[in-house]
Chain A
Amino acid sequence: MIAWNLGIDVGGTFTDVVLTDESGERHTTKTPTTLDQSDGVLAGIEKVAQEAGATCDAVLANCGVIVHGTTVATNALLEYRGAKVGLLTTEGFRDELEFRRSYKESTFDPRLKAPHQICPRSFRLGIPERLTKTGEVLIPLDEDAVRNAVLRFREAGTESIAVCYLFSFVDPSHERRTSEIIREMAPETFISLSCDVLPEVREYERVSTTVVNAYVGPLIQRYVSHLEIKLRDRGFKGELFIMQSNGGMSTAAESGRHAVGTLLSGPAGGVTAAGWLGGLSGYKDLMIVDMGGTSCDIAVIRDLAPQTTTQSWVARYRIALPMLDIHTVGAGGGSVAWIDDGGALRVGPESAGSIPGPACYGRGGTRPTTTDANLILGLLNADYFLGGEMKLDLEAARRAVKSHVADALGLHVEEAAQAISEIINNNMANASHLVTTRRGLDPSGLALVAAGGAGALHAGRQAELLGMSTIIVPAAAPVFCALGDTVAHLKVNDARTYLTSVQDLDLTELNRLFAEMEARARERLGGQNVTSSFETRRSLDLRYVGEVHEVTIPLRTRTRRVTALNIEATLRSFHDAHEQLYSHKDPSHPVELLTVRIEYFGLRKAPREKGAEFGDEDPSQAIKGKRAITFADGRHETAVYAGEALRAGHFIHGPAAVESWGTTIMICPGQEALIDAFGNCIIENGRSA
């Protein structure tokens, strides 16, 4: 009996499915995303099962694990369709959510509107209670006030209640008692306590994250339960996991409770896949550039660990949970080219989307986009878009570029298309540089992983612009996020604010905190049927006294108990990291600790990968034709290879194009590509622009 595993990622347009078995056999498919995402999921499983020569029911009956990347929470927040939320705060602070620490997305725009209030003022109530910074009770919790508030929320029909009191990360007892009262009075209500969601200092960051959790929680719970019922009805007996924004997966129940952790559920799969792929191909430090229709996501992986951040904003709400650090730029295939009032050519951030889409889609779009430019330059094949499922209209692309760009700039259509391509490449390169510099890294030291439908078209030029030597185009690029879902580990993050100077650090207290967090993480992790191997990574948020920004430093210890020597070693790491990030260190300056963190993993066995034997270097049998393609250095008659005909060991000199369903790889002049044992295309770049 084959034991299957499924990775399913729901995107805006397509639901991607990857089905693997124990032997390393992998089947992939795409199916249109549906309004009720679970319909698309089932349709995708049906389709991939057929490809594997099985039925949907048979696959589900023998499937141990399904890992699902979903956009339910993201869409609910982006479209403001979440639950009706009531918020209880310390009296006198009910507007912190709205004040947003005075953050504005635009300094000078007088028309900038306030964000949509997912918890309007009439649903935010102050409760008399107050703790000091050391946890002493300054004002006892007014339980009657809590009861009155809950009554009011019930009358107003709230589905969900968020609670965020000041200094609850020091002592959560007031929040816990509030939760008990809510549970007594309104047992059906979804409760989101800040001491559970984000037990860390800084009230705005905490309240925003806690309220978003309350806003998307009921939807995620309903969706996951609905999907699980459908899967069980079809015979699924395994365990359903949801991909998390931190790059790990978590149980369906945990995902419901900590729904805010699923906001990057989709893109997280791609970054996780890149880390796994890097390990497979021997590249530990990577930059993943995932270019889709409307935007381009950039993330960095160091030593095979995806980098995380606690500085995220989603739909103008602050999310301070550790999430994969994914930087999004408005640069995609559908990005519209336009001339600004200074006469400069601009590309994006506006996108033509998929409807009407680029002019060459023939769906009524008339404005030129990156995809139109790529078609004119020959990077795309009008007859082989999505493997030939969709014909592109070259003349429509030329008309759009001519009328909106070429005529205005006095250029030939090809020159204008080249300009569009260069602008978008430069936009992405500049954004990539910022992402790496902020981390104290030089992009030239990283390998570039190109994902997304348009990623491999632009990666060659990106590498030239960033001085990067290696590009990896994954064999599974079109379903990369779903691939990530199949290789993710179970993961829970936890943190506690613990403010002290490192000099005065109480090791007993630190060890007690870690033990408590680990026990809680183990409880939250679940999934004991799919893993028996656990790993804890501990880290400290440190900063020089007087600084505002802290740096998260992995704790250097091999034992469970942290010793003074471990702290000394960790301090040395801090100074070095500080120097790498900010170009200086000051070992004589006092250092303070803000937060202690753990990442708790339930490790899944790595899927077996069937590597192919390297064959002949000569790929000429895979050539399906030639066409003129304009690269940054000019027009070249270029060999076009059929992706499915390439084999491990094939060696390709640029300029060349490799066409596969869902992706086209451009190998620029001077670059060399090798198909590795796993079907990935590894491009070496010797040029920098």
Chain B
Amino acid sequence: MNDLAAQTLGAQFVALAREGASLFSAMSRSRPVSDQGQYACAILDGDGRLIAQDQGEPSHLAAVQSTVAHLLDAFAFNIGDGDVILSGDPHCGGTWCGVLTLARPLFFDGDLRFVAALRFALPDLSGEIPGLFQPHAHEIWQEALRVTPVKLIEASAAQQDLRRYLLRNTRAPRVLDNDLKAAVRVTGHIGARIAAQVDHRGLGASTRAAEARIAYSRARAEAHLAEVACGRAAAQGIGLVVEHDEAGLAIDLDGTDGISGSASNMTLAATRAVALSQLAGELIEDGALAQGLLDAIAVRCSDNCILAAKAPAAVSLGWRITAPKFAAALAEATGTVSLFAPPVPLLMMFEEIGSVPESHPAAISPGFVRTANGSGSDAASGRRRLMSVEMTEIEGRLSVASREATETGMVAEVVVMAEGFEAITVPGGPEPEITQSEPLERKRSAVLSLAPGARIRFDYPAIGRDSDARV
């Protein structure tokens, strides 16, 4: 096999990861997946090295590989054909609670050669407050269920006890059940396609193609990162130095704050995702995300760093609050533009706690921070879709009263239509402004009781943007 054959087979891995992501996003019933693009699909080799990946938003850039590496490590001597393994622990390669990574090991000639993986966010996975944001958490255990590496399917037999356990630990069991099935099916589809490729081209050709893709991503990363300007920055608790090293680029976080007692910590996988977005976004968009690129950006920090928090640190607000600060510092150090906007006003709305057996918590933010050239939202928003005014009203919880551009950005106002809803305002960004005829009661720490007719105003700043001669 020559390099060309490796390249064309490698391109098939990329196409397959895209196909898997596209299929899963269509099959999922989870709003974080369908509305916010919180999913990724990847193919890895038997050693857990990333061959190809496609994702709906950038928080997953490093987390799929690091989680699968943890999974393979956890089951090192107990993994076989027909297994499907699962993890949802921010401190085992993940980013925050409520995001699961499902991996299907693929065996050929008796050896583990490839892994098909899907990572996806759920609307809820228990925790004090419905949804995935826990504003007052100090420890990971307050945030959600930590799903440590487990086998969802063993030797092709579904582990019903585990499934039941998971479904009892979410407020949205039907969504979780559907999405687990969807992920199992999509990874099965990818497995079948890789098996067909191996059948046609031979195992040697496929494994060499995987190696070639990793080497290719390494070569592209080296060429690209060599052009990145080095420098240092210190602001908002983030102190860092970006410098070239033998592997590519190193980010030294020595001047960064230590772990926060709040939920604004970030795991290393989340921090690496910001660095990858900020420093190699265009390579990722061009299909060059593979192990070679992951290995080319090193993050050095102490065990106590807010950007590489370890258990039991709470992390549910890290991506929202700390990631934009880290991106801004990286941008300053490298003389580029930050791809992450400051946090938007955000409300987590849910059925009154304790009132219903099944709840559908929803993140409400009817607008977005527009990028400097007005082309849409920031990179962190990925494939997020702005809520449709009409569909929102039809669903019955809210009506959008207005949503327009302003001199300073965008303003949207929504009205609560139904009884029995509560909410929290998610810290970090500007607070949504709530007005209602009844007193705005704060129950159970930060939980607000919303009355029908309550008006909620969301104000979004513009970043580096002309007012566009607003008329």
Contacts and interface: CB of A to CB of B under 8 A. Distances in A.
Interface in B198-221: 200-201, 216-217, 219-220
B157 interface: no
A582 B27 contact: yes
Interface string A632-663: 00000000000000000000000000000000
A167 B388 CA distance: 12
Nearest to B331: A110
Contacts of B410: 95, 99
B23 A437 contact: yes
A130 B397 CA distance: 18
Interface string A115-131: 10000011000100000
Contacts of B14: 430
A202 B403 contact: no
A499 interface: yes
B381 A426 contact: no
Contacts, number: 191
Given A133-B390, A437-B189, 17 more contacts: A96-B389, A98-B405, A101-B386, A107-B382, A107-B383, A109-B282, A121-B405, A166-B389, A167-B390, A341-B220, A345-B7, A419-B4, A426-B12, A430-B11, A548-B29, A548-B35, A584-B181
A478 to B, nearest CB: 30
Contacts of A201: 388, 390-391, 394
B462 to A, nearest CB: 13
Contacts of A499: 394
A564 interface: no
A101 B388 contact: yes
Nearest 8 A-B pairs (CB), nearest first?
A108-B281, A92-B402, A342-B220, A104-B376, A430-B15, A114-B374, A341-B223, A548-B34
Contact of B404 (A95, A104, A203, A434): A95
B93 interface: no
B243 interface: no
B100 interface: no
Nearest to B5: A422
B388 A204 contact: yes
Contacts of A98: 374, 405
A contact patch SS: loop
A426 B178 CA distance: 34
B-side interface mostly: helix
Interface in A465-502: 499
A546 B174 contact: yes
6 contacts: A96-B403, A102-B368, A202-B388, A341-B220, A345-B7, A434-B19
Given A342-B288, A423-B7, A544-B29, A582 B23 contact: yes
A121 B470 contact: yes
Contact of B281 (A101, A109, A115, A433): A109
A529 interface: no
A343 B385 contact: no
Nearest to B6: A344
A101 B26 contact: no
Interface string B362-389: 0000011001111111010111111011
Given A95-B404, A102-B384, A202-B391, A434 B285 contact: no
- Interface magnitude class on chain A: 35 or more
B182 A582 contact: yes
A112 interface: yes
Nearest to A549: B26
B268 interface: no
B19 A133 contact: no
Nearest to A106: B285
Contacts of A548: 29, 31, 34-35
A688 interface: yes
Interface string B10-29: 01101100110011001101
Nearest to A92: B402
Counting chain B CB atoms within 10 Å of each CB, the highest count among A92, A202, A581 belongs to A92
B385 A107 contact: no
Interface of B: 3-4, 7-8, 11-12, 14-15, 18-19, 22-23, 26-27, 29, 31, 34-35, 57-58, 174-175, 178, 181-182, 185-186, 188-189, 200-201, 216-217, 219-220, 223-224, 277, 281-282, 284-286, 288, 336-337, 339, 367-368, 371-377, 379, 381-386, 388-391, 393-394, 399, 401-405, 410, 413, 468-471
Interface of A: 91-96, 98-104, 106-115, 121-122, 126, 132-133, 166-167, 201-204, 340-345, 409, 418-419, 422-423, 426-427, 430-431, 433-434, 437-438, 499, 544, 546-549, 581-584, 586, 688-689
Contact of A92 (B185, B284, B404): B404
Contacts of B58: 107-108
A396 B174 CA distance: 63
Contacts of A418: 4
A563 B381 CA distance: 45
Contacts of B34: 548-549
Contacts of A544: 29
B43 to A, nearest CB: 14
Nearest to A316: B375
Contacts of B374: 98, 113-114
A418 B3 CA distance: 12
Contact of A688 (B200, B223, B367, B402): B200
Contacts of A688: 200
A688 to B, nearest CB: 6
Contact of A93 (B19, B281, B389): B389
B339 A110 contact: yes
A96 B379 CA distance: 20
B282 A108 contact: yes
Nearest to A200: B390
B22 to A, nearest CB: 6
B11 A427 contact: yes
Given A110-B371, A133-B393, A341-B220, A426 B11 contact: yes
Q: Determine which residue in B4, B284, B405, B471 has the highest number of CB atoms from chain A within 10 A of its CB, and name it.
A: B4
Contacts of B286: 340
